[in-house]
Amino acid sequence: MNSYDFEDRVAVVTGGANGIGAAVAERIVASGGRAAIWDVDISNLEPRVSRLPEASRLPVQTDVSDLASVEAALAQTEEAFGQVDILVNSAGIAGPTHTLADYPPEAWRKVQAVNLDGTFHCCRAVVPGMAARDYGRIVNVASIAGKEGNPNASAYSASKAAVIALTKSLGKELARNDIAVNCITPATAQTRILEQVSEEFIEYMRSKIPRERFVTVEEIASMVLWMASAENSFTTGAVFDLSGGRATY
């Protein structure tokens, strides 16, 4: 397990109650940091999160699609932990699987609200403090779907492509600061998000991966950990692949 020095560092991990976010929060705390877990449902924390020392974790009920909820979460986090040094935007939803012509408009808006607007809201909230202190690390969780597009998942694919573009733009805006803004594009991981799509769609996504398996949340957390560390002092606005060979660009 890779480990970096996160002593005296505070990370906000959205979607941190389970899945990718939970694995990232666990790894940050194991490396000496503290993690504020912003999630729409903090009543059902994964064991890897619930067993973390209470002094090092702070579950905060947060709807990332609502800017006021995000701002309230930041105030609660700063009151408990002080400044926010790291932001990992992991909260996301898949939405239903439909052709674009049949995609329900309300479902389209919900996917964009959580995946894209949520990333924007959280970055907007924490960036001023990072800029004032001239330090920060932001990791946005995009998807291979944002590079290649998945059929019958236009809303999800579009939202993740937009997260990639947001990352590149914000990285350039903050390049003169010691603030690194990068994103990852993982292939499918076996998390609760798969409960939102059909078994047929899951098998299709697995078949596209040359390694012939899904990525694990631990593998994702390993890459995120370096991206969130002080050692990532030069790279910004970049997209890191975790697709198991599906995308080689």
Burial string for 87-102 (b: 16+ CB within 10 Å, else e) reads: bbbbbbbbbbbeeeee
% of the chain exceeding 90 in pLDDT: 83
Does this model's pTM top 0.85? My answer is yes
Q: Which domains does the chain have, with CATH numbers?
A: 10-186+215-240 (3.40.50.720)
pLDDT digits (tens, 9 = 90+) for 119-178: 999 999 999 999 999 999 999 999 999 999 999 999 999 999 999 999 999 999 999 999
Which SS3 state, helix, strand or coil, does residue 59 take?
A: strand
Tokens of 26: 């666990």
Annotated catalytic residue within 4, 103, 156, 204 = 156
Annotation marks residue 135 as catalytic: no
Tokens of 39: 């999630």
Mean pLDDT of the region 186-208: 77
Q: How confident is the model at residue 41 (pLDDT cuts 50, 70, 90)?
A: very high
**pLDDT value at position 134?**
98
- Closest by CA to 156, choosing from 218, 111, 196, 117, is 111
Please say whether the beta carbons of 40 and 63 come within 8 A.
yes
Which SS3 state, helix, strand or coil, does residue 174 take?
A: coil
Q: CA-CA distance, 34 to 36, in Å (whole number)?
A: 7
* DSSP state letters, 148-159: H--TT-HHHHHH
pLDDT digits (tens, 9 = 90+) for 50-103: 999 999 999 999 999 999 999 999 999 999 999 999 999 999 999 999 999 999
